[in-house]
Copies of this chain bind each other. A is one copy, B any other.
């Protein structure tokens, strides 16, 4: 409930939720759509959706004023606890909720953010959705994404397939950003022959913060889910100023900043598409698999999650690497082109881990190499260290995959085959865009 003062001001101004209003408060003057009161917000807080797509919370105090600018449509939805449907003449998009900041609010008692939203609530912060799609929402989990496991990926894959089979135009998955790219890689391998887009979306700032990107991201994701694309993508904010998002390929994206809205980057490839929030347009930036409703999705979700990811470093211990034989597979994020300590010149201080890795391979544990530089391609032919790894049967020469994508793929490959040679065949074969033969020419990284 609002405070008496706020209630009175809204009544006097004849303002209801959904109306376009102008609020003058000590913090400044704001014009936007009055959203439903945030349950956990202060009783004097008016939440406005600005034309830019951002929501802003305005503290209403003595001397503040509110004025009706334009009567809006009432914001009424068919809402149950966790599910909501908005039916209209627009293309159908299913939204599945997994939790994360995009579905979070601040708990004012402690100041911590926790996933308290039902997906149904999303229309309260992004009412413009009803103008672009008929939406079905369903909540799968309320998880912080750092708690996602390969078992959750399997549930998501199956539930996405259920939605696909309903014949929807596309599926949006609301997901925490921490491990979003692991999930998008997993779904890329698990969901084969997809006829339509499956778009993961998250938010770097929760909906109660003025700078939240959740509405813009979600609207762009719903647009991407209706675009002429089939496969798994991640839709996230491009930068800190502009109102557009990129659609990244599910196996080629990584979170590269703890907190910035532009944290997600395509690695070693261009993004698939640019999505203009205000123009409601999807512009493809390179060739992508096109939607084709005749395809029948196949869920191929067998996984073996008993896999380890080792980022090597100076002083990494051979005897510790030997202990990794408790895993069924190991991804080594090596230095440079894919190197580990090999000590070919018998330096007195250096300690090779090649014998330890060889021991793993000989026990039937596949060892996969990926670059800890994040960007670039493994090449085991240039230096001695690479050649030694190739000789002992390390998998991944020539691959330009992310360490995290290689990890997820190894879990998936080990769900299908066990023998090192079979795993190798499956690993180096491009399944979902995770490896390419040649690197596209991508515009330079920013130099500073």
Contact = CB atoms under 8 A, between A and B. Distances in A.
Interface string A294-319: 00000000000111110111110100
Interface residues of A, number: 98
Contacts of A179: 313-314, 335
A260 B335 CA distance: 14
Interface stretch (A1-9, A69-77, A147-155): A147-155
Contacts of A443: 446, 448
Given A149-B351, A446-B444, A112 B343 contact: no
Contacts of A307: 315
Given A258-B371, A448-B270, A382 B341 contact: no
- Identical copies of this chain, number: 2
A146 interface: yes
A183 B314 CA distance: 9
B315 A305 contact: yes
Contacts of A246: 447-448
B448 A337 contact: no
Contacts of A358: none
A240 to B, nearest CB: 7
Given A147-B342, A313-B182, A447 B258 contact: no
A289 interface: no
B271 A448 contact: yes
A417 interface: no
Interface string A333-356: 111111111111101011110000
Given A144-B339, A258-B376, A320-B326, 9 more contacts: A143-B345, A144-B344, A144-B383, A176-B336, A178-B336, A258-B336, A259-B377, A308-B320, A443-B446
